[in-house]
Structure 1
């Protein structure tokens, strides 16, 4: 019998959780699952990835933060029509809505999706802090809580989440899409004006304090003081105010001509292939870093801060450093530059780490088993 699965998410903008949801929804077995995505907001860039798939996408047409009553009524009406067997929230707000809906749909299993760890909510406004407190209180009412990292599970256990309802399912990387492609990478480098003999070092991630772009930029300044053959790129978007702060820091460091702000890109496999070294400089809040897995699937050498599951993802194919240390990041990059094959690992060796451990097939097998419980 086909199970009706509804995913509830705020938006389908470029982001790790959003990309992971699209990958999962498209790949679920059509014979076993009828899949719908309910999205708070319309007209998001990742919607195009669902074209020609069997996934039904419905926008709830939310009109801003305080459009709650009409939004909730529309949500209820769609769910009454679909009558899902499973309602799977992705991230905090959708998770909370599943509990509000539980009395109206008592036969629907309410599953939460947790995508981060060590989330420092005191860095955010009162609304985010309130949501975090509500999530802690209401977690016991969820039927199942899927966490994408071991670090995330440990962190949420300390916040009072029920251990008996939590399982870890790591992200799945689409290794057919993300694979070595020097030609595609060369085209992106040409677009950015990067010569073949220039070392291109990149950070892929939204412009958010948790990604710690300042540490990346300070390390870039240290490297530029020693070498002329390095260039840097930041791929991702964020708030205009924070972007201005980062651009000002770049200018203050005297490296504006060495840093490319690429914004959001839809051709991420080509972007990863353009890099010589990929960096994850996150200071906190990560769960399972998609960008690390995707870069490694393209055979790119990676350096990550020791946050969440990053060290577990990299294994012995890259370098792990303490967070918030430009000096440690600089030393790690220099170690890569000086060693054409780190630990004797070729591009294919690096890729194989992901193919073996974090394939979409493994994600599907574990998620489908959770849905069929």
Structure 2
């Protein structure tokens, strides 16, 4: 990208987006919209943006994915920058042109996109840039940490989704201490305990016997989620309980290895791998369960646990990230040590003794609601834009 083209683009964009009385426009910037907690959250933030006075599009650096189709069905534009390998400045120019065309004034970038958000901001200096870090690779990539220490100079406001993650960003990545901590939120109106008919339909969808007791989880099948821990804990729990079933909702590169492990453990005939599912089936997965289990090695703020709680499920989850703070206000969750197979199995047994899905107390989740999260972000947007 030449200096002349960037300067010309910035001038054109300044006239387009900053003049007149047209409503404030923004984009969410993500790597992709494949199935995942971050991507699901961006979909919901985009879908409900008009309720909060926002006009929102989405830009993907790499490719679209499952939630791109869902978002487009809402009439929202999804732009794909088609980033190539290495530092692709051409993708920044394409993204900047999209921002010009759509009259964007604020960019909300998410994990993995800080460098490109900063480059976009340097290209179009009038843009306000918010970046939210949702979690890190473990071990972290030194080159990414170095890039982010440069990129942060053009980020107007950095947000962490948990206190634990904020500490990591300050101490390990060495980002500035001044950042906002905004917990992710769950839509408690969307996630509700199932009716008897919904529960029966969900069981039928996943070929689960109506009288089975189902332990399950939802999430991308990647190493950090540590699904093998859940499989091994389930083997312990189900050894003398033939009525138990395990439901793993989601897709990912680890699925073939996990299916092989289920076979080695002798639980393949009682384990269901759903593979890729649509948004409705994400809900139906929860409706089919009696207990929700999260076995992750690392989470900042586990949205799927919040969704399970809102769906009335007793939960078991590794005490990573800010999970202990959720457990402190939500009595239906049992935290267990990270990688604690015996403790996870024991907690599942305890939760299987609970009668079944029941409405969560709204006051327990009040600080973790989608509405609380959105009001916090909108206040941040308006503070930066001075509107």
Q: Decide: shared fold, TM above 0.5.
A: yes
Choose from 106, 110, 129 the match for 1:86.
Answer: 106
Corresponding position of 2:214:
200
CA contact (8 A) 1:298 1:351 kept: no
Q: How many residue pairs end up in the alignment? A: 356
Deviations 1:158-217 (A, max 9, x none): 1321122x1111112122221112322321212322222211000211111111111101
Q: Distance in 2 between matches of 1:87 and 1:288?
A: 22
Corresponding position of 1:96:
115
Q: Distance in 2 between matches of 1:120 and 1:362?
A: 29
Corresponding position of 1:348:
359
Q: Distance in 2 between matches of 1:73 and 1:206?
A: 31
Deviations 1:85-110 (A, max 9, x none): 21111112x21101112222112111
List aligned pairs for 1:51-70, cutoff 5 A. 51=72, 53=74, 55-60=76-81, 62=82, 64-65=84-85, 68-70=88-90
Choose from 128, 133, 144 the match for 1:114.
Answer: 133
RMSD: 2.2
Alpha-carbon deviation of 1:245? 2.0
Alpha-carbon deviation of 1:288? 1.2
CA contact (8 A) 1:26 1:53 kept: yes
Deviations 1:255-289 (A, max 9, x none): 111211111222222210110000110112x1111
Q: Distance in 1 between matches of 2:72 and 2:194?
A: 25
CA contact (8 A) 2:314 2:354 kept: no
CA contact (8 A) 1:185 1:272 kept: no
- Cα pair distance change 1:36/1:337, threshold 3 Å: closer
Alpha-carbon deviation of 1:334? 1.0
Corresponding position of 2:25:
4
Deviations 1:92-132 (A, max 9, x none): 2x211011122221121111111015x4225xxxxx44223
Corresponding position of 1:268:
282
Q: Distance in 1 between matches of 2:361 and 2:337?
A: 22
Q: Distance in 2 between matches of 1:30 and 1:329?
A: 40
Q: Distance in 2 between matches of 1:338 and 1:34?
A: 46
Corresponding position of 1:27:
48
State the TM-score, normalizing by the size of structure 1. Answer: 0.88
Which residues of structure 1 form unaligned runs of 5+? 123-127
Corresponding position of 2:257:
245
- Cα pair distance change 1:192/1:69, threshold 3 Å: same
Corresponding position of 2:229:
215
List aligned pairs for 1:108-257, cutoff 5 A. 108-116=127-135, 119-121=137-139, 128-159=141-172, 160-164=174-178, 166-182=179-195, 183-239=197-253, 242-257=254-269
Q: Secondary structure at the match of 2:180?
A: strand
CA contact (8 A) 1:179 1:269 kept: no
- Cα pair distance change 1:32/1:262, threshold 3 Å: closer
- Cα pair distance change 1:30/1:233, threshold 3 Å: closer
Deviations 1:45-76 (A, max 9, x none): 2123324536332233x165459244233112
Which residues of structure 2 form unaligned runs of 5+? 1-20
Deviations 1:339-358 (A, max 9, x none): 437xxxx712356533x222
CA contact (8 A) 2:192 2:359 kept: no
Corresponding position of 1:370:
380
Q: Secondary structure at the match of 1:81?
A: helix
CA contact (8 A) 1:300 1:350 kept: no
Q: Distance in 1 between matches of 2:354 and 2:57?
A: 48
Corresponding position of 2:8:
none
Tell me whether 1:327 sits opposite 2:342 in the alignment. Answer: yes
- Cα pair distance change 1:67/1:129, threshold 3 Å: closer
Q: Distance in 1 between matches of 2:354 and 2:47?
A: 39
- Cα pair distance change 1:174/1:31, threshold 3 Å: closer
Alpha-carbon deviation of 1:43? 4.7
- Cα pair distance change 1:368/1:220, threshold 3 Å: same
State the TM-score, normalizing by the size of structure 2. Answer: 0.85
